[in-house]
């Protein structure tokens, strides 16, 4: 019997990779997308299936985390085996500009899904996309037992979502699990997060299309990993015998300055000639140092990321160089071929899994 998964945030970085992973595992996938006046499905267009095709395994539904009624109907009618709740206003800096909205979508959105599951009376597994931002100013390394001390409206909203997930697990016996994920990046990372902002700029400077890059605080340290590896961890969290909470991260931290060195250096550029400070990118309160202790995930999930910091940077720079129509240096593609499983390739194609499974899907 095929498993059926519901993914909120399917159009985001993680949602798109998770969809590819689950398609490769034979799942039927339902994704919630927001109505938009322009197309917002770029990251999943390559796996989108025309509604007129029989036995589709990827089905999209309009919905919004601000409204409970429609979520409850959707979950009741769909009867998913697993729910991956990834949807959120996920930008930390922006959360200071729109704190109430962030609380509504990133915080209460979780409660709306949990309540929808409870009200529909179905038994399904629930994943909450928690964040290392919840640790905020707690000293590194941070693990599942580290007390939260968020430093942003986003971090505070995620703490609320985390504890609501624990509450529904304890109060109603739901299989509800929290991932506490440290920063993970890729060529699909949103363009305003610092890693992608840098790798895009490196590619454009290399191509002569841009000369300056404006950034804020270069001293913060982050534990950056490669996103496709993290969605494998997310899936494993929901395959355990009992629900629990897990930190996922690499155990290696670097400053933004080190990221700049690595990214510009890969294309023989000197970042000091191009980077300028702009205070608008500072946050009212900063998270200085995030470093994962993911030993529980290593032990219980058998999850170990393979792509290290330098490799991540090369994968991202190569992808951005390719995106602007130039030939990349090539180390990035070689790294993925060498280290990453077959569902995830440089081009990100999972079409062979779609073709292989045609005729076995549940249909709609």
Nearer to ligand GDD, 132 or 187 (CB): 132
Nearer to ligand GDD, 169 or 200 (CB): 200
Strand, coil or helix: 109: helix
Beta partners for 126?
A: 83, 176
When binding is defined by CB under 6 A, the residue of 222, 314, 333, 344 that contacts ligand GDD is 222
Choose the binding region for ligand NAP from 137-145, 179-187, 211-219, 315-323 (rule: CB under 6 A).
179-187
Contact call for residue 349 and ligand NAP (CB under 6 A): no
- The DSSP 8-state label assigned to residue 270 in this structure reads -
Contact call for residue 136 and ligand NAP (CB under 6 A): no
Buried b (16+ CB within 10 A) or exposed e, 68-80: bebbbebbeebeb
Partner whose binding site includes residue 192, from ligand NAP, ligand GDD, none (CB under 5 to 8 Å by kind): ligand GDD
Neighbours of 177 (CB within 10 A): 22
- Nearest 5°: phi and psi at 61? -130, 140
What is the rounded distance in angstroms from the CA atom of residue 90 to the CA atom of residue 10? 13
Contact call for residue 229 and ligand NAP (CB under 6 A): no
Give the Å distances, CA to CA, from 330 to 17, 249, 250, 322, 346.
22, 26, 24, 10, 11
In terms of Cα–Cα distance, which of 136, 30, 102 is closest to 73? 30
What is the rounded distance in angstroms from the CA atom of residue 156 to the CA atom of residue 163? 11
Give catalytic residues, as residue numbers: 131, 133, 154
Contact call for residue 182 and ligand GDD (CB under 6 A): yes
When binding is defined by CB under 6 A, the residue of 5, 22, 44, 65 that contacts ligand NAP is 65
Q: How far apart are the first and last CA of the chain?
A: 15
Contact call for residue 264 and ligand GDD (CB under 6 A): no
Contact call for residue 216 and ligand GDD (CB under 6 A): yes
When binding is defined by CB under 6 A, the residue of 131, 187, 195, 250 that contacts ligand NAP is 131
Nearer to ligand NAP, 124 or 290 (CB): 290
Give the Å distances, CA to CA, from 271 to 213, 264, 268, 328.
9, 6, 10, 19
The nearest distance, CB 145 to ligand NAP, in angstroms, is 18
What is the rounded distance in angstroms from the CA atom of residue 126 to the CA atom of residue 84? 6
Choose the binding region for ligand NAP from 87-95, 258-266, 296-304, 310-318 (rule: CB under 6 A).
87-95
Contact call for residue 19 and ligand NAP (CB under 6 A): no
The nearest distance, CB 211 to ligand NAP, in angstroms, is 28
Q: What residues make contact with ligand NAP under the rule CB under 6 A?
A: 8-15, 32, 34, 40, 64-66, 86-90, 105, 129, 131, 181, 183-184, 190
Q: What residues make contact with ligand GDD under the rule CB under 6 A?
A: 90, 92-93, 131-133, 182-183, 192-194, 197, 215-217, 220, 222, 256, 281, 283, 286, 290
């Amino acid at each position: 019997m095929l498993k059926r998964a519901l993914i909120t945030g399917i159009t985001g970085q993680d949602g798109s990779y998770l969809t590819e992973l689950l398609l490769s595992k034979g799942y039927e996938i339902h994704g919630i997308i927001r109505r938009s006046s322009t197309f917002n499905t770029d990251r999943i267009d390559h796996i989108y299936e025309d509604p007129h095709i029989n036995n589709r395994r990827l089905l999209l539904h309009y919905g919004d985390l601000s409204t409970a009624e429609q979520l409850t109907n959707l979950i009741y009618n769909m009867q998913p085996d697993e729910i991956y709740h990834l949807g959120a206003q996920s930008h930390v800096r922006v959360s200071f500009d729109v704190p109430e909205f962030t609380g509504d979508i990133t915080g209460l959105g979780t409660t709306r899904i949990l309540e929808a599951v409870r009200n529909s009376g179905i038994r399904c597994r629930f994943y909450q996309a928690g964040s290392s931002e919840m640790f905020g100013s707690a000293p590194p390394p941070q693990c599942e037992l580290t007390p939260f001390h968020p430093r942003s409206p986003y971090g505070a909203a995620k703490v609320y979502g985390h504890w609501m997930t624990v509450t529904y697990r304890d109060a109603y016996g739901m299989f509800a699990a929290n991932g506490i994920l440290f920063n993970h990046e890729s060529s699909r990372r949103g363009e305003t997060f610092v890693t992608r902002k840098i790798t895009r700029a490196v590619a454009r400077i290399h191509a002569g299309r841009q000369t300056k890059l404006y950034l804020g605080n270069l001293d913060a340290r982050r534990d950056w990993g490669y996103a496709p590896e993290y969605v494998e961890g997310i899936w494993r969290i929901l395959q355990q015998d009992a629900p629990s909470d897990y930190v996922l991260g690499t155990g290696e931290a670097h400053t933004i300055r080190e990221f700049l060195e690595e990214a510009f250096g890969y294309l023989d550029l000197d970042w000091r000639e191009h980077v300028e400070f702009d205070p608008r990118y500072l946050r009212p309160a900063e998270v200085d140092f995030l470093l994962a202790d993911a030993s529980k995930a290593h032990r219980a999930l058998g999850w170990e990321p393979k792509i290290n910091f330098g490799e991540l940077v090369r994968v991202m720079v190569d992808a951005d160089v390719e995106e602007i129509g130039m030939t990349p240096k090539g180390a990035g593609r070689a790294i993925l071929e060498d280290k990453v499983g077959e569902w995830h390739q440089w081009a990100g194609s999972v079409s062979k899994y779609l073709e292989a499974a045609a005729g076995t899907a549940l249909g709609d």
